[in-house]
Amino acid sequence: MIKRIRTSFYQNLIEPLVASKNPPSFDARGVSFGLIVGFLAPIGTHVISLCLIRFAFRFHFGIAFAFTFVSNPLNVVPLYYGYYYMGSWLLGKPVTLELEGFEKLLSPVLSTTYFWEAVSAFAALGYEILLRWFVSAVVLSVVFGALGYVVTYKIQVRRCKRAALRMGMNYEHYLEQLEKDTETRSTE
């Protein structure tokens, strides 16, 4: 099981970044938007959220999709309870639900298969829970989205500089070529 998770992690997160033929900012935006959606959008709404963002911004969709799995069916109950707990603390409100009660409230959200079912079930959690959840989700998505962008950008710049050096090109020329290639692929 652990080996399968490690293999999946490498194939879906690391390999696309290592083998990327995109400019550093393109991949960094993918990581950033993936983390933002993963932390901010309720589970079950990630793909549609990414598609909507894609209308306004260019980014590596595959990498973004992979990074949305920071929230997934295996960790969503403790993660969302952590949101509730953190939101209570940030808003100065008492924590009134234990983990077991929260898990029962969340079960309709986890059993949905369609976007609108997930949205409806999530909205049915009630204002007090959603407010606390939303405050934490915004804080975490902004922090980790920004951090993900900066770290990925720095790593990808270093990778591109090494690739340019191996090809006997200067970095700026290599970056221009990546930009042009990415633009060509996105118009096809």
The residue range of the domain holding 86 is 2-187
pLDDT computed for residue 187 by the predictor: 55
Number of folded domains that form the chain:
1
User: Do 145 and 125 form a contact (C-beta atoms < 8 A)?
Assistant: no
Q: With 70 as the cut, is the pLDDT of residue 188 above it?
A: no
Residue 65 pLDDT grade (very low, low, confident, very high; cuts 50, 70, 90): very high
What is the rounded average pLDDT for all residues in the chain? 89
Residue 55 pLDDT grade (very low, low, confident, very high; cuts 50, 70, 90): very high
CA distances from 185 to 21, 133, 182 (A): 11, 38, 5
d(CA 96, CA 103): 13
Average pLDDT over residues 15-41: 92
Q: With 80 as the cut, is the pLDDT of residue 10 above it?
A: no
CA 188 to chain centroid, in Å, comes to 26
Between the ranges 33-37, 63-67, 125-129, where is the mean pLDDT highest?
33-37
Phi and psi at residue 29, to the nearest 5°: -65, -35
Read off the tokens for 90: 């940030």
- Side-chain half-sphere of 129: how many Cα atoms within 13 Å? 18
d(CA 108, CA 121): 6
d(CA 62, CA 163): 22
pTM of the model: 0.86
Q: With 60 as the cut, is the pLDDT of residue 21 above it?
A: yes
Which residues have a Cβ under 8 Å from the Cβ of 42 and sit 6 or more positions away?
A: 109, 118, 119, 122
CA distances from 6 to 12, 79, 80 (A): 10, 21, 24
Residue 121 pLDDT grade (very low, low, confident, very high; cuts 50, 70, 90): confident
